[in-house]
Amino acid sequence: MTINVYFEDVNVGDTIPAWSRKTDFMHWNRYAAVNDEFIPIHMDDEAGRAALNEQGAFGMGNLRYAYIVNALQDWMGDEGQIREIGCQFRAINQKNDVLTVTGTVTEKLVEDGEHRIKLDIDVVNQNGDPTCPGHAIVTVPARS
């Protein structure tokens, strides 16, 4: 059992540990294999260029979403639970981009018997561009 975060130890303004991946076909093809997401724009540079992305094939929005899930999971530990994630896909995930999930605590509350933490989240690329701004709500254990 891994408890990484107790409700009492979290403060508004805290940031979660940055969670990063340098993404390319090795990541995208594995995700395509488990999600049955064999779409040419994610697999073939010519198809990516035909879709007006000069750099060729580009990454899946769903995988970027998975990275947000992973960052929250790794921060909370296994006793926590993600209750909500909302985000907008704002920029393309280009090949070899380094994507980093960021999160900042905005609110703490006890609701429906759960200790909930609200966060602003994003996935930024190596240039610091926000590619997936949004929010999350998680529940974590309390000491008392």
Partner 1 sequence: MTDSAPDTLVTDDMIERKGVWGSERVSPPIAESDIRKWAIAVYWPETPPAIFWDPEYAAGTRWGGIIAPPDFNPFAWPIVTPKDKAAKAEKPKEKPKRKLRGMNGGQVETYGVPMRPGDVITMRNRLRDWEERETRLGLTLFSYSEMEWHNQDGELVKRRVSTAILY
Binding residues for partner 1, per CB under 8 A?
Answer: 1-2, 21, 26-27, 30-31, 33-37, 61-63, 65-67, 69-70, 73-74, 78-79, 81-89, 134
Q: How far is the CB of 9 from partner 1 (least distance, A)?
A: 18
Q: How far is the CB of 107 from partner 1 (least distance, A)?
A: 17
Nearer Cβ to partner 1 (11/68):
68
CB 63 within 8 A of CB 99: no
Q: In whole angstroms, how far apart are CA 3 and each of 38, 98, 114, 119?
A: 37, 28, 16, 19
Q: How far is the CB of 22 from partner 1 (least distance, A)?
A: 9
Nearer Cβ to partner 1 (2/11):
2
Nearer Cβ to partner 1 (15/70):
70
What is the rounded CA–CA span in Å between residue 32 and residue 30? Answer: 5
CB 65 within 8 A of CB 86: no
Nearer Cβ to partner 1 (11/126):
126
CB 85 within 8 A of CB 118: no
Q: How far is the CB of 36 from partner 1 (least distance, A)?
A: 4
What is the rounded CA–CA span in Å between residue 104 and residue 48? Answer: 34
What is the rounded CA–CA span in Å between residue 72 and residue 91? Answer: 21
